[in-house]
Amino acid sequence: MLNICIPVFNYDVNTLVSSLHKQCIEAGTDFNILIFEDGSDKEHIEINSKIKLLPNVKQLISEKNTGRSAARNFLADNALPGKILFMDCDSAIHDKNYIKNYLENFDKDIVCGGTAYLPAQKKQPSVLRYKYGIKREMTTAATRNKNPNKAFSTFNFMISKDIFKTVRFREFLHGYGHEDSLFGFELKTNSYNIHHIDNPVVHEGIEDNNIFLEKTEQGIRNLLIIENNKLINKDFTREIRIVKTYYKLRKLRLVSIPYIFFRLFENIVKKHLLKSHNPCLYMFDLYKIGYYCKIKRLENEKTLINN
């Protein structure tokens, strides 16, 4: 049984679901498609209600937004025994053999298909997100298999439901950021193998630069939440590049440098990232380490005051 699980928030998934449904029928496989309206408004719920006319398709609804991690756990709990194919709602299928490619890897525990972007998506309001996707996310299976757990992404992957019962998404992470890297790390610590294949879906819902930068900051704040959670293996955060960089700088007593840089040039760097027609990803990395140093300092100062 193939369960296709799609968490949705205010997004039209009719085309996506219809494409998946058609491919499953053509492949002759037993399947079940579940979409979970995680706090979507009434308008979008109504738009997506048409998919219920298709056999083996269900629309599950929550009036409140439960968050990315809880939504995926809920979908998995409602899936039938077999495999679960998780997809983001802003995906688009551009390969007629997409489902077939996953079925050919049904013997593997966890399979990641990858992410793709199209040249037509390069537009000024979202050029930072587009360039980041092209340079950092759109990688081949051969590259991802060199470090399979670190390259894990929740955007497009298949997993055994039995495995998901033992390693679930951490629901204390409500916002955007690092729920996928933490999930990949915990799969690794439980000795589960991740296999990457070249079976990407196109990421259609590219955010405008300002939204992407806000979500990046939210993801960095999530790192601190993870660091402060005593139930999480501390080795996880030490594997994250931004955290590794921070502690190397602290060991060398140089951590004030990115902090001061951020205080002095935050607005200049942000303007470049938001307005440039060709934003520099190195500047983006500097922005992230500077922001991390800023919130770490604020956290340390708060701890000193409370003590």
CATH of the domain at 118: 3.90.550.10
Residues whose CB falls within 8 Å of the CB of residue 77, separated by 6 or more in sequence, listed in order: none
- 190 shares its domain with 217: no
Q: Which letter does DSSP use for residue 193 in this model?
A: -
Cα 186 from Cα 199, distance rounded (Å):
24
Q: Which letter does DSSP use for residue 133 in this model?
A: I
- 171 shares its domain with 187: yes
Number of domains present in the structure of the chain: 2
- Which segments within 189-258 are labelled E, that is strand? 194-196, 201-203
Q: Is the pTM of this model over 0.95?
A: no
* Final residue in a domain of this structure, among 157, 181, 206: 206
Kindly compute the dihedral angle of the four CA atoms of residues 97, 100, 105, 109, in this order, to the nearest 10 degrees. Answer: 110
Residue 57 belongs to what domain range? Answer: 2-206
SS3 content of the chain, % helix, strand, coil (to 5): 55, 15, 35
The DSSP result for 206-217, as a single string, is PPPHHHHHHHHH
Per-residue pLDDT of the chain (307 residues; tens, 9 = 90+): 999 999 999 999 999 999 999 999 999 999 999 999 999 999 999 999 999 999 999 999 999 999 889 999 999 999 999 999 999 999 999 999 999 999 999 999 999 999 999 999 999 899 999 999 999 999 999 999 998 988 899 999 999 999 999 999 988 777 677 788 888 889 988 999 899 999 999 999 899 999 999 999 999 998 888 888 776 777 777 778 888 888 888 888 888 888 888 999 999 999 999 999 999 999 999 999 999 999 888 877 666 566 5
- 161 shares its domain with 36: yes
